[in-house]
Amino acid sequence: MGRDVPSLFFIGISLFFSQFCLAMSKNVTIKDIAAEAGVSIALVSFVMNNRVEADGKMKYRVNDATRERVIEVAKRLNYMPNSAARILRKGKSKVLGLIVSDISNVFYGEIARNLETLAFEQGYTMLFASSDESPEKFRQIVLSFLEKGVEGFIVVPCTGTLKVLQQVLNVGVPCVVLDRKNERFPAPMIVLDNVGAMRSAVEILLKKGLKKIEMISYTIRATSITGREEGFISRMREQGISDEQIRIHRLPFDDIDSSTDLVIPSIVGRGVEGIVFATNALAIASIRKLSSMGVRIQKDIYLVGFDNSDVYDLFYPPIPHVGQPIDKICSLAFSYLQKLIDKEIEQTTKIVYISGEVFD
């Protein structure tokens, strides 16, 4: 195996910042270097790709003097390897694809941030895109990423994307799923124990002695959402609440604000004591509406948030919430993907449940 990041990359860096950086001729290739150094292009390639193998030997044996000369010329000419050629030749792009529903959502932003760092450390770069929970857009993104030759996908799928993802696997590109699950899809899926997490969220309100508790959720039927609803329902039932009394308000993903304007006054009007939210975006929109109505958070009405958000700690007392350990989720997801790419494991259904973190 040897090191995964070829020394080429580091040579690249030093070359690039070489003190000899002249007005550079547009595209310097190994051919130019070969000519200048008076060697063959193969030798230049050897020099650029040389590295220590697992057994401690060098991959290619190159004369020290010639190696120095080649490197010197490469620096002087400001050589930069052409990745398209390398990809074409080797079939490896060192690019991964990340698809979330909305990169501007803090939760996914943090996901992106964590994955990006991990990827960078391993010499990968990341293509990213937001699906907006639209299967059609998701499909188009997958396709364009595939055309770009990504070596692997990390995705937050939306409903109606099973077929596309199956295709991804068919063309031999590995895939890891985040935040959603589907028993019929053969991939590692890193998901929160949504049922348990929402039960914990409800528990927080129950412990305060509150009775009239309602939930605000999405209309979308992503497994993360339905799991949280299931947790809410099961815990409320255990509390002896009849099914007719258990209320879940479902708002459209793409138009939270105006639907919040309708739902919140109705909730307040009915004298609800506590609200649990399926996501941070829902909590934020609701808090905004509540504030504007003059309802005092955690006094007139108790809230419990979901996911992590700066917002929860902005109040006093802070709004309790059940968060996701994003770093753990990401490092797990990334290590699965890497093992998949390296063919150390098979692409099979494997649902990994992560416990929510209760902040109370």
Backbone angles phi, psi at 254, to 5 degrees: -95, 10
- 209 CB-contact burial (10 Å; exposed 0-12 / middle 13-18 / buried 19+): exposed
Span interacting with its own copies, options 118-126, 204-212, 222-230, 266-274, rule CB under 8 A: 118-126
Report if residue 245 touches DNA, rule: CB under 7 A.
no
- The correct pick among 18, 29, 105, 335 for binding DNA (CB under 7 A) is 29
Report if residue 113 touches its own copies, rule: CB under 8 A.
yes
Report if residue 212 touches DNA, rule: CB under 7 A.
no
Q: Are 273 and 301 in contact (CB under 8 A)?
A: yes
User: Which one of its own copies, DNA, none interacts with residue 41, CB within 5 to 8 A by kind?
Assistant: DNA
Report if residue 81 touches DNA, rule: CB under 7 A.
yes
Report if residue 162 touches its own copies, rule: CB under 8 A.
no
- The correct pick among 13, 42, 162, 314 for binding DNA (CB under 7 A) is 42
Report if residue 241 touches its own copies, rule: CB under 8 A.
no
Binding mask 170-189 for its own copies (x = CB under 8 A): xxx-----------------
Nearest to 341 by CA among 168, 155, 172: 172
Tell me the C-alpha distance between 175 and 307, whole Å: 24
Min dist. Cβ of residue 136 to its own copies (A):
9
For 289, residues 6+ apart whose C-beta sits below 8 A from its C-beta are: 260, 261, 264, 265
Give me 154's structure tokens. 């990390």
DSSP letters spanning 139-176: HHHHHHHHHTT-SEEEE---TT-HHHHHHHHHTT--EE
Backbone angles phi, psi at 191, to 5 degrees: -130, 155
Span interacting with its own copies, options 176-184, 234-242, 283-291, 351-359, rule CB under 8 A: 283-291
Q: Are 2 and 59 in contact (CB under 8 A)?
A: yes
- The correct pick among 10, 21, 40, 125 for binding DNA (CB under 7 A) is 40
Nearer to DNA, 94 or 228 (CB): 94
Give me 356's structure tokens. 């929510």
- The correct pick among 109, 135, 186, 325 for binding its own copies (CB under 8 A) is 109
For residues 84-143, which are near DNA according to CB under 7 A?
A: 85-86, 88-90
Q: Which residues bind DNA (CB under 7 A)?
A: 8, 27, 29-31, 38-43, 45-46, 48-49, 60-67, 81-82, 85-86, 88-90
